[in-house]
Amino acid sequence: MELANLTWPEAKEAIARAKVALLPVGSTEQHGPHLPLGTDHLTATWIAREAARRGDFLLLPTVSVGVSPHHRQFWGTLWVEPEVLMAYVMGIARSLAYHGLRKMVFVNGHGGNTPALTDAARRLRDEGIFAFVYVWWRAAEEEIRKALEDGGGHAGEMEASVVWHIAPELVRPEKFPEAAAQAAPAWGKRVHGVEVSYDTIDFAAVGCVGAPTNASPEKGKAILEAAVDKLLQFGKWLAEAPPGDLSPKPHRP
């Protein structure tokens, strides 16, 4: 059930039935010369939509701009401060709780959002609203490792494969060689064990970490299926979990 497509009388029934809501949260940020700026929110939305369909969860409208100031030197990247994202998702969660639905999953498609979403979820819990942060590439880590040759990164084999399955018309395979030639081998730049980079451009000239060379839509499909399955299982668990078990424990005697 997709909330934005319902009328309010339909929403009343859908909210009563759903037990769990899914909020896709992504970014609009550079993903190299070969993938669209929308990569993270397209992926989060796809995974959440599939899980909502299969598990009868309530799909909320996607938050498409996240915490991406570290990509700002690349054209088109948009970002908000972490405090803004936190306040925004907490507002969405509280409005849903006002209608009576107090269990939700932040379906996160962008690593830079994770601290803000985690902090928002922790604060909401103190209000009796149970939100959890689902990070698809962490939840399906094992299956992803098996599916790929080179691994994750940023705009590398993993993301190129996933977008290729979701929206093949948005992938530019002819740009893969350019991306691969200048891809950083790992995230960040360390000096004597200290992380000294704040922006992606400090260590990745065209914005890629890991090469997309071995990406394929088939790999993307396998990864997405694993990610949907994890979210489906988690959503079912959350639907059944008694609020008492999810609430903060009382202070010890």
Least distance to Zn ion, CB of residue 117, Å = 15
Least distance to Zn ion, CB of residue 41, Å = 9
CB-wise, 40 or 157, nearer to Zn ion? 40
Least distance to Zn ion, CB of residue 43, Å = 7
Taking residues 79 to 98 in sequence order and writing x for each that binds Zn ion by CB under 5 A, - otherwise, the string is: --------------------
CB-wise, 66 or 82, nearer to Zn ion? 66
Least distance to Zn ion, CB of residue 174, Å = 20
Footprint on residues 26-55 left by Zn ion (CB under 5 A): 39-40
- Total residues binding Zn ion (CB under 5 A): 2
CB-wise, 15 or 42, nearer to Zn ion? 42
Taking CB under 5 A as the rule, does residue 157 contact Zn ion?
A: no
CB-wise, 94 or 145, nearer to Zn ion? 145
C-alpha torsion sign, points 176, 177, 182, 187: positive
Footprint on residues 225-244 left by Zn ion (CB under 5 A): none
Phi and psi (nearest 5°) for 53?
-65, -45
What region does 221 belong to: left with phi over 0, alpha with psi -120 to 50, or beta? alpha
Whole-Å CA distances, 203 to 8, 218, 243: 49, 30, 45
Least distance to Zn ion, CB of residue 110, Å = 6
Least distance to Zn ion, CB of residue 155, Å = 7
Least distance to Zn ion, CB of residue 22, Å = 19
CB-wise, 71 or 103, nearer to Zn ion? 71
Give the residue closest to Zn ion by C-beta.
40
Query: What is the Cα–Cα distance from 48 to 20, expressed in whole angstroms?
Result: 12
Q: Which residues bind Zn ion (CB under 5 A)?
A: 39-40
